[in-house]
Each structure stands twice: as C-alpha cells, then as structure tokens.
Chains A and B, each alone.
Chain A
Amino acid sequence: MNRPELQAMGERERERQQSYRCRLLCCASTPCLSSGATAVIETLKQFIKERELDANVLVTATGCMGPCSRGPLVTVQTRGLEDVVYEHVTPELARDIALSHAAPEPKALDRNLLAADSPFFAKQKKVVLSNSGLIDPERLECYVARGGYGALAHALREMTPVEVCEAITRSGLRGRGGAGYPTGLKWDLVRKAPGTRKFVIANGDEGDPGAYMDRTLMESDPHRVLEGMAIAGYAVGAEQGYIYVRGEYPIAAKRLENAIRMAERRGLLGGRVLDSSFSFRIDIRIGAGAFVCGEETALMASVMGRRGQPSPRPPYPAQSGLWGMPTLINNVETFGNIAPIIDNGAEWYAAIGTDKSKGTKIFALAGTVATTGLIEVPMGISLREIIFDIGGGIPNGRAFKAAQTGGPSGGCIPAEHLDTPVDYDSLRRLGSIMGSGGLVVMDDTSCMPDVAKFFMEFCMDESCGKCVPCRVGTVQLHRILEHITNGSATPRDMETLQELCVMMQETSLCGLGQSAPNPLLSTLRYFREEYQAHILERSCPAGKCTMDNVPPLEQGADLQRRARSTTSDAEVS
C-alpha cells in the first residue's frame, strides 16, 4: 500500500459511514462490558435486522468513552442532530434509542442523557484519546478514515529520522510512564547509539492499582500505538518492536494482535512499510503479573523470558538494552502522542499545557467521586477542576480528604493543595508524582495510615527481592504501619518510619524501591496528626482501623490519659 491508496481507503470508509442516517456507537471497553454492554450491542443488532433498518442505522462497537461508572454508554451520531450520549443503557432503552433516532424525523430521547456540554466533557481535551469511543478498534478502516497512518506516511516520505527526533523534542513531550524524561532526547540517544540492531518497546505493563489509561488506549485505539511505535522505529533505526502487555489485559492483547495482523496485511507494518525502504515488525509479549516489570530494565529481562529483576543503570537501555542492543522504551501513552504531534506539528502540541509539561495527560479518575472514568486533560489543570468539575465532586455528602496520584510510587495530596496545577514538577514538589495517571479520590472515611499500609503491602509483595533496602525495608515499614493501625505503636516508631523511608529512597536499586516510601512520606507530611492520634491516643479518627492490639496497660481510660501526658512530655524534652 502506498500513500494515495491509504487516502483512498480513508475516503471510502468516510463515505460508507456518512451513508447511514444514524450511527449507534456502543462502548465495548472492559468496564462497559462488565456492566452489560454485550447484551446492549446484541439487542441492537438483532433489533435493526428485525426492523430492516440496516441501510439507515449502523451499530459500531467502539472503545472507551470516558465516564465508566455510567456505563454501558451509547453515543448516537444522527444526520441533522447534535451527537448525544446515553448512560446506563439497557437493551430496552437501546431499542427506543434506535427507533427514535432512525425515524425520518429523528429526535433524541429525554431519558438517560449525558449532556454533551456537561463539565465532564467540556473541560477535557482529547489528543491521545481523540479516536477513542468513536471508532471500531477492530477495524483498520475506521482508524484510517480518521487520518490514521497519515503521520507515518508523512514521516517516511517527508522527514529524516533526525527531523522526527527534533520534532518530538520541540513538542516538549515527556515520558508518560511517570518519570517524565523528555521523549525526544531519549529517541535521539537511541538514534545515535551504535548497534547492529535496535529495538523499540512499548511499555503496557500498567501495574499501578487504580490506573487503566494504557489498557484503554490499547483496547480503544490499538493502531494509534502501533503507528507511534513505527514512527519511533523509523526515527531511531529499529526494525523490531515489542509491546509488553500486562497479563490482566487479555482484551487489549487480542485487539493489538488483530491490529498488527491487519496492518501487516495492508503493508502498514512489516516489510517495506508503505512502499518505502523501512521495515518494522511488532510482536506482543504478555506479562505474567509483576508490578516491577513496569521498570524498564526489569521489563527487558521479562521480554527476554527471565525473572523480571531490574539491573543497575548505567548502562541505560538506550546504549545496551534488549540482548545488549540499543533499545527505546516508552510508555504506551507516550506512543499515543506521536501521531498527533507529527500530524499537527510540534508547535501545536507545545502550545498545550504548561511551561515545562506540554500536551495532555490521561487520568483514570477513581475512588469516591461522583463520576469515575477515564479523562484526558491539558497539563496544568488544577486538581479541583478534575475532581469537582469533571468528576462531579464527592458523593454521599462526604468531605474530600485526599487525592492519590501515581499509585504505589506516588503520594496523597490534601485539600489545601487542590488548586495546584497538575504537571510533573508541581506534583513532585508536593511529594507525589504524576505517575502513569491513576487518580484515586478519597473521602473522610479513609484513614491515611491505613492507606499508607495498603500501598506498603503492595510494594512489599511486588518487591523483586534483589536489593536489600527494598526487600527488607518494605517488610519493616509494613510491620510498623501494622503496629500503628492496630494500636501497638510507640512514638519512636515515627522516627524509625521517617528514617527508613529516606534511606530506602536513596539506596534502593530501582524505581520501585526508591519510590515505595512516597505514599507513606506524603501522608506523614500532610496527615501527621492522624498518625499521632493512632499512636498517642490509640484511636483512629476515620474509624477504619480496628485498634485491637492496644497494650493492656493503656486500655484503662485514666491510664490512657497518663500515657498521653508522659509521651507529650517526652516530646517537649
């Protein structure tokens, strides 16, 4: 396939889509599927067949639309009407929707409507997810109809590898996996590195609990990731790419596999891409359940079939990665940004976001917030806007307590910092990180030492065991947190906590160990009085902890008071 053929393919598909009076887009992403989207899609198809509406109505199973807690979702595009989104769609409702919209005088229903101008949609800016929820991820034509693979064709024909790297550098794109390393610089390092073979890896081992951006992108728009990888391959001089998909994401793996097959058949991947001299193959590697494999050196060990243990850097993967060859590793979401940058230009991209953090970021908004789901926002938006405008605030009349970003490597941000702009550097200053984009909102029923314990337990289980500070440090920190939450801690434990945390940050071998203390340190910083209540007063302010192991001597009321006064004396001295 060459460029004109690609354009013709897109044109044909657009014409086909426009020939329908109305298109019903049904979300077939994991959350919607679990809340009954399959039945909705099947009923709709059946119904349309029965009523012989085939020529007028097209039913498409698409990727994620965003507000996952309101699923199953159906978007309706009707000729002569604004697009509308229906929430909590049942098979019965779906029939009504089809009837009403396919009528000669189409009309939107007045039930289960999700207003298009609601802040949930209005405050978002979709760059990476621009196709998500609008295209059928299983059909290459749908992607091409929206300009897909145009960026790859453009790069191959009009740009040199150096120019591609420069464009990415100028765009200001930073790695979306968490650390925020400038992507263009990384590409340039790999491009310049000497090596007979080079590799490109897309990191889709999204292990942060509470984050599912990468999964959604791979499920909703797999070709976007493949195109980004192919452009990267061209820019750095690699002919082989791997996508490392988390084992818990079978649907994503299946759709990617399907996408790779289709792209290869059409000559968009494989040998002589788009009739150029550039060849690029992509293989999928399925993870087997290890959080540490999100770390790049551990991920490479896992791609090579070994125990996923990180190795010390230098050498960096850019010099010596897979099988000792220069290797480019980027997050799946980072690759999702590439095609739009090439399509619209680096300057367009650099105009979005803040000074040091450009572009948009996808967040998985979860926890105790009215609307949970997947959102894409420009960098620099405030947490308050995300949680209270887009997310609709805290339900059940509870109060906001903290927002947890960055998963087990991030931290908890309290209410007083709600107006901080969300970008790499501001979050780091607050003791958290951007991470891959998990954002879990907690209301006042959450107990912070308990949350810290939850994350520490996670890190303890996921530590690979190679280096001592992480292997033993996580266990010791978890022990102390257990003492705090069951009422048997002593004031000295606070010092030990603090000291161990700092030591682990500085001495651990890889990112997992270095960032494992972050949730604990950030809660110590912002919610110290909660820890003190657990230790000095033997009470849990949120009422979550059992406190069932208070030393017998302190169990009487007046003894408790005495204990309190002696410890506070000790603190003064």
Chain B
Amino acid sequence: MSIANKQKNPPAKVEEARTDTRYKLVDRTLKRFHYQQDALIEVLHTAQEAFGFLDDDLMIYIARALKLPQSWVYGVATFYHFFSLEPQGEHTCVVCMGTACYVKRAAEIIATVQDEFGIAPGQTTADGKLSLATARCLGSCGLAPVMVIDNQVLGKETPDTAMSRLREVVAAPAATATASVSSATIEPQEGPTP
C-alpha cells in the first residue's frame, strides 16, 4: 500500500480517476513516456492542459504513477511559471511585460486593469470571471504592447483599447466564451499524440 493511500487527507480519488476522461489524457502521456520519472514535466503539462490547474489529488495521482515523492512533484510544479495550483478565471488576460512592451508602457495597461477589476497579476476576480497575468515576452515585440485575451493575441494596445476589449469579454454571456480553460498559452497546444 502506498503512502498516498494512507494520507490523512483524502487520497487521489481512484473512483473519479476511472470515470473522469481527463485522467485518461494524463494516462496517455504517462504511457507515452513509459512511466519514466524524467517525464514529470511533460505529464504536468498534460495535466495542466486537461484540468486547467493542478490540485493536490492530481499531483498525488501523478506522483504515484511515476513513483516519485509528493514533495518532489510539488517542488517541480511550483518551480515553473506555467503550472498553476489554483483554478483560473473564466477569461484570462495576459499582458506582455517583455522589454519592448515595457518600453511602450505596458505597465500602464496593467495598472488600469488592476484599478478596474481590483486584481493584481496572478489573481482572479472574486466572481471567477477574469484572471490577470503577465508574461515574460510573447515574442511579438513588433506589435508592442501586446496582450492576450482568451488566447487571442492583440497588438499595439493602449489602456483604453485594452479596457474596452476586456469589458466586452467579461460582459459577454458565458456560452460564447471559448477556450478559456487555462494558462498563458497563445493557443491551446495539441493534445498528446499516442
């Protein structure tokens, strides 16, 4: 019996894992890499994509599959920017803070968004509508300042244009919101191929 099973807090929900198709995606990546411990980051990538964030159960599940200590998995997951341990908002707004964007005053965009929605970068509004994040450089410096709203890259923004776009997105009914699953990727990456 593994350690995780004896955990005082509820263990990885085995039942759930059997029925939740998202775990199947994780399993597929695990299998593709032959359950090698070295594949931890690849597995975490898949998990983050499938679930939108990494919760404790998910990390325990991965730790068990790869036969790694829990603290190891947690240490790796928190080392990298990409992995989020908390659920993200319905919409995400990523403002690029690369040098070119900074020189072209991206900080003002962030300040404006922060004032309007009351969230700092890395936070989500209380109603779960919007997550604000910054990126290190999206590599679209020709279009600086750049922001990404729900995976759509927008260039040459000003605080005003940024705000009006954001208000539009947040006000839109949830049904039309697409691809707001997670993360700061420009577009959703392809799922793992078997």
Q: Is the Cβ of B155 less than 8 Å from the Cβ of A306? A: no
Inter-chain contacts of B173 with A (CB < 8 A)? none
Partner of B155, one of A35, A211, A212, A367: A35
Contact with B along A274-307 (1 / 0, CB 8 A): 0000000000011111110000000000111111
Partner of B189, one of A31, A211, A254, A442: A254
Q: Is the Cβ of B185 less than 8 Å from the Cβ of A247? A: yes
Inter-chain contacts of A124 with B (CB < 8 A)? none
Inter-chain contacts of A446 with B (CB < 8 A)? 103
The chain B residue sitting closest to A438, CB to CB, is: B99
Does residue B141 face the partner (Cβ distance < 8 Å to A)? yes
Inter-chain contacts of B184 with A (CB < 8 A)? 248, 289
Inter-chain contacts of B76 with A (CB < 8 A)? 305-307
The chain A residue sitting closest to B136, CB to CB, is: A209
Interface centre among B39, B76, B185 (most CB of A within 10 A): B76
Interface centre among B76, B79, B82, B97 (most CB of A within 10 A): B79
Contact with A along B119-136 (1 / 0, CB 8 A): 000000000000000011
Inter-chain contacts of B86 with A (CB < 8 A)? none
Partner of B142, one of A71, A287, A291: A71
Report B77 CB to chain A, min CB distance, Å.
9
Q: How far, in whole Å, are A247 and B84 apart by their CA atoms in the complex?
A: 14
Q: Is the Cβ of A247 less than 8 Å from the Cβ of B187? A: no
Q: How far, in whole Å, are A438 and B135 apart by their CA atoms in the complex?
A: 17
Interface residues of B in 69-103 (CB under 8 A from A): 75-76, 79-83, 97-103
Report A199 CB to chain B, min CB distance, Å.
12
Interface centre among A71, A248, A254 (most CB of B within 10 A): A248
Report B163 CB to chain A, min CB distance, Å.
19
Interface residues of B in 25-50 (CB under 8 A from A): 37-42, 44-45
Contact with B along A456-471 (1 / 0, CB 8 A): 0010000010000000
Does residue B12 face the partner (Cβ distance < 8 Å to A)? no
Partner of A290, one of B45, B75, B80, B190: B80
Inter-chain contacts of B98 with A (CB < 8 A)? 209-210
Q: How far, in whole Å, are A367 and B186 apart by their CA atoms in the complex?
A: 22
Q: How far, in whole Å, are A373 and B35 apart by their CA atoms in the complex?
A: 43
Partner of A35, one of B81, B103, B143, B189: B143
Interface residues of A in 304-332 (CB under 8 A from B): 304-309
Inter-chain contacts of A212 with B (CB < 8 A)? 137, 139-141
Does residue B154 face the partner (Cβ distance < 8 Å to A)? yes
Q: How far, in whole Å, are A287 and B40 apart by their CA atoms in the complex?
A: 12
Does residue B153 face the partner (Cβ distance < 8 Å to A)? yes
Does residue B138 face the partner (Cβ distance < 8 Å to A)? yes
Q: Is the Cβ of A305 less than 8 Å from the Cβ of B143? A: no
Q: Is the Cβ of A308 less than 8 Å from the Cβ of B79? A: yes
- Please judge, given known A-B contacts A30-B186, A288-B81, A440-B103, whether A208 and B137 are in contact too, CB under 8 Å: yes
Inter-chain contacts of B135 with A (CB < 8 A)? 248
The chain B residue sitting closest to A374, CB to CB, is: B142
Q: How far, in whole Å, are A373 and B141 apart by their CA atoms in the complex?
A: 8
Does residue A178 face the partner (Cβ distance < 8 Å to B)? no
Inter-chain contacts of A368 with B (CB < 8 A)? 103-104
Q: Is the Cβ of A307 less than 8 Å from the Cβ of B75? A: yes
Q: How far, in whole Å, are A212 and B37 apart by their CA atoms in the complex?
A: 31
Q: Is the Cβ of B38 less than 8 Å from the Cβ of A251? A: no
Inter-chain contacts of B146 with A (CB < 8 A)? 34
Does residue A240 face the partner (Cβ distance < 8 Å to B)? no
Q: Is the Cβ of A248 less than 8 Å from the Cβ of B138? A: yes
Report B127 CB to chain A, min CB distance, Å.
27
Partner of A364, one of B75, B141, B186: B141
Q: Is the Cβ of B100 less than 8 Å from the Cβ of A440? A: yes
Partner of A440, one of B41, B99, B143, B153: B99
Q: How far, in whole Å, are A554 and B138 apart by their CA atoms in the complex?
A: 42
Report A487 CB to chain B, min CB distance, Å.
18
- Please judge, given known A-B contacts A209-B97, A368-B103, A407-B99, whether A30 and B153 are in contact too, CB under 8 Å: yes
Q: Is the Cβ of A34 less than 8 Å from the Cβ of B143? A: yes
Q: How far, in whole Å, are A250 and B76 apart by their CA atoms in the complex?
A: 21
Q: How far, in whole Å, are A329 and B37 apart by their CA atoms in the complex?
A: 22
Q: Is the Cβ of A308 less than 8 Å from the Cβ of B80? A: yes
Report B76 CB to chain A, min CB distance, Å.
6
Does residue A143 face the partner (Cβ distance < 8 Å to B)? no
Q: Is the Cβ of B142 less than 8 Å from the Cβ of A69? A: yes
The chain B residue sitting closest to A67, CB to CB, is: B142
Q: How far, in whole Å, are A287 and B98 apart by their CA atoms in the complex?
A: 18
Q: Is the Cβ of A366 less than 8 Å from the Cβ of B99? A: yes
Does residue A358 face the partner (Cβ distance < 8 Å to B)? no
Inter-chain contacts of B136 with A (CB < 8 A)? 207, 209, 248, 289, 291, 458
Partner of A288, one of B82, B100, B137: B82
Q: Is the Cβ of A250 less than 8 Å from the Cβ of B189? A: yes
Partner of B45, one of A68, A248, A286, A440: A286
Does residue B144 face the partner (Cβ distance < 8 Å to A)? yes
The chain A residue sitting closest to B39, CB to CB, is: A305
Having A210-B98, A212-B140, one finds 5 other A-B pairs with CB under 8 Å, namely: A286-B42, A366-B142, A366-B144, A372-B141, A458-B136
Please give the residue numbers on chain B whose beta carbons come within 8 Å of chain A beta carbons, in ascending order.
Answer: 37-42, 44-45, 75-76, 79-83, 97-104, 135-144, 146, 153-155, 184-190
- 25 residue pairs of the A-B complex, CB under 8 angstroms, read A30-B153, A35-B143, A68-B141, A68-B142, A68-B143, A71-B142, A210-B99, A212-B139, A247-B45, A248-B135, A248-B139, A285-B41, A286-B41, A288-B83, A291-B136, A304-B38, A305-B41, A305-B76, A307-B76, A307-B79, A366-B100, A366-B144, A372-B141, A372-B142, A451-B103
Question: 9 closest Cβ contacts across the A-B interface?
Answer: A68-B142, A289-B81, A209-B98, A288-B80, A212-B139, A366-B100, A210-B99, A366-B141, A305-B40
